[in-house]
Structure 1
Amino acid sequence: MRDILEAVAAGELSPVRAEAELAGYVTGEAGRFDAARGERRGIPEAILAEGKTPEQVASLAATAVETTGRALITRIDDEGAAAVEDRFAGGDATRERRGSTLVVRGADREPAELAATVGLVTAGTVDGPVADEAEVVCADAGASVDRIDDVGVAALDRTLDQVDRLSRADVLIVCAGREGALPTVIAGLVDTPVIGVPVSSGYGFGGDGRAALSGMLQSCTVLSVVNVDAGFVAGCQAVLIARAIDGAGE
């Protein structure tokens, strides 16, 4: 504690960052941010933009960058992204947006590296936005991401053609809507951990991801399943597995 207080007195550490190191979280103008989650859990706290004003999102992003060097924002729209852009305009922070996911990194943020590969698979184009969210999480953690798109079971040859490539990944995230069969099929073809992500595509009975979720939960092959459209959760789960693999190689 003394080292932190001396660093604040010397101007080497901001009061906000000192608070985060001492308490594990920071209370800002838009609420609390868990700055210690990355150290505690191995995965960062994300800022869910949905349901927040653009100003609240930008404020939380600023707090995250100040305390951890990076802000990971999910479910952000153009208005929210513009507010974040304005907040960091003229600074040294870099912004990277993919779909509805945005990462802001401070100038002193060192790129992370993990000696593990996450295979990211989509059944079709409609699954892309959910996969994008998972991809940003994995890439930000330093894992290599091998993305394989549009290999749904409607034409099973497309899946079978990728078996060798799928087998080379350390962990697989498989996104599928409609009946959600793709994760089950892939889990029966490889000896790699599979995380199934049901996507809210499809219509009629069992639409909005319900049939996909039910199908994955009832799978006769061994796989893990996250909630509907939960790309962030799947990405975090894959990162935890990737970290374990990276650590085992040391």
Structure 2
Amino acid sequence: MRDILEAVAAGDLDPAVAEARLSGYATTGAGRFDAARETRRGVPEAILAEGKTPEEAATLATAAVRSTGRAVLTRAADAHVDAVVDALDETATFDRDDRARTLVARAPDYEPPTLEATVGLVTGGTSDAEAAGEAAVILEAMGATVTRVEDVGVAHLGRVLDHLDTLRDADVLVVAAGREGALPTVVAGLVDTPVIGLPVSTGYGYGGDGEAALAGMLQSCTIISAVNIDAGFVAGAQAGLVARAVSDARAANEDGGDESDRSDLSDASGR
């Protein structure tokens, strides 16, 4: 603690960074940024820009970059993006996804995490791209490799079957679908990997705001998990946690500690 305080007094450490290291969060005029979430939970803190003024989003993004080296914004309008770009140092880099309405800002010395795991991101149709794109942004922020399989809705099952090998190669799948939300159920019946259903608010009339898709996923005959309607961030974060567990297991295997365990299990099962 003394080292941190002395660094602040000497002007070598930003007070926001010092606060984040000591308390786990940085206090700003726009709210508190949870700088320790990624270390504590494995999922980076994201700034929901929707409902915030551009200035508030910029203030929180600045605190995020100063304390963690990166800021992830979701549901960001162009005004939010412009304010963040103006507020941050010109050496920062930015990745903007207009369709997903996300922005990722990084300090020049930021080193992104990497996971030895692949997440398949599947959409029933082009209309599902916004929610799926939000999931992709958080997955990539967590270090997972994202493989996209797009526009494979159940109206033509051949489209899904054509990508079956890709689906089965993934360590975990996020499947986004609107209308009746059948795609995650179909995919889950074809693979042995975890499937996270992402209901999307596309459709017509009764239930067309995503409620039918969510209800269908909750009543799935095959084994899936489901997040809330349009909750791309949550779906991506859940899949990222699975990917991290897979990556950790692979790293442990590479250390050579699991060969005897596997043989023991094999003998115990009689195979």
TM-score grouping bracket, smaller chain normalisation:
over 0.9
- Unpaired segments of 5 or more residues in structure 1? none
Q: Which amino acid aligns with 2:77?
A: D
CA distance in 2, matches of 1:175, 1:3: 48
Give the match's secondary structure for 2:244: helix
CA distance in 2, matches of 1:15, 1:140: 25
- Asked if 1 retains the 8 angstrom alpha-carbon contact of 2:181 and 2:217, the reply is yes
Alignment of 1:49-198 (within 5 A): 49-88=49-88, 91-98=90-97, 99=99, 100-198=101-199
Aligned to 1:30: 30
CA distance in 2, matches of 1:19, 1:111: 22
Q: Which amino acid aligns with 2:219?
A: Q
Deviation at 1:12, TM superposition (A): 3.1
Aligned to 2:255: none
CA distance in 2, matches of 1:184, 1:3: 54
Q: Which amino acid aligns with 2:218?
A: L
Larger radius of gyration: 2
How much identity, in percent, do the aligned residues show? 64
CA distance in 1, matches of 2:220, 2:112: 37
CA distance in 1, matches of 2:90, 2:250: 38
CA distance in 2, matches of 1:70, 1:114: 18
Deviation at 1:208, TM superposition (A): 0.3
Q: Which amino acid aligns with 1:129?
A: E
Task: Provide the aligned length of Structure 1 versus Structure 2.
Answer: 249
- Asked if 1 retains the 8 angstrom alpha-carbon contact of 2:200 and 2:230, the reply is yes
CA distance in 2, matches of 1:38, 1:24: 10
- Asked if 1 retains the 8 angstrom alpha-carbon contact of 2:121 and 2:136, the reply is yes
- Asked if 1 retains the 8 angstrom alpha-carbon contact of 2:44 and 2:141, the reply is no
Aligned to 1:39: 39
Give the match's secondary structure for 2:175: strand
CA distance in 2, matches of 1:42, 1:11: 31
Deviation at 1:186, TM superposition (A): 0.2
Deviation at 1:42, TM superposition (A): 0.5
CA distance in 1, matches of 2:3, 2:249: 33
CA distance in 2, matches of 1:180, 1:111: 34
Deviation at 1:202, TM superposition (A): 0.3
Normalising by the residue count of structure 1, what TM-score does the alignment of the two structures yield?
Answer: 0.97
CA distance in 2, matches of 1:200, 1:36: 32
Normalising by the residue count of structure 2, what TM-score does the alignment of the two structures yield?
Answer: 0.90
CA distance in 2, matches of 1:14, 1:76: 26
Q: Which amino acid aligns with 1:28?
A: T
Name the Cα RMSD after superposition: 1.0
- Unpaired segments of 5 or more residues in structure 2? 252-271
CA distance in 1, matches of 2:235, 2:3: 38
Give the match's secondary structure for 1:45: coil
CA distance in 2, matches of 1:11, 1:115: 39
Q: Which amino acid aligns with 1:81?
A: V
CA distance in 2, matches of 1:4, 1:24: 14
CA distance in 2, matches of 1:35, 1:14: 14
Aligned to 2:264: none
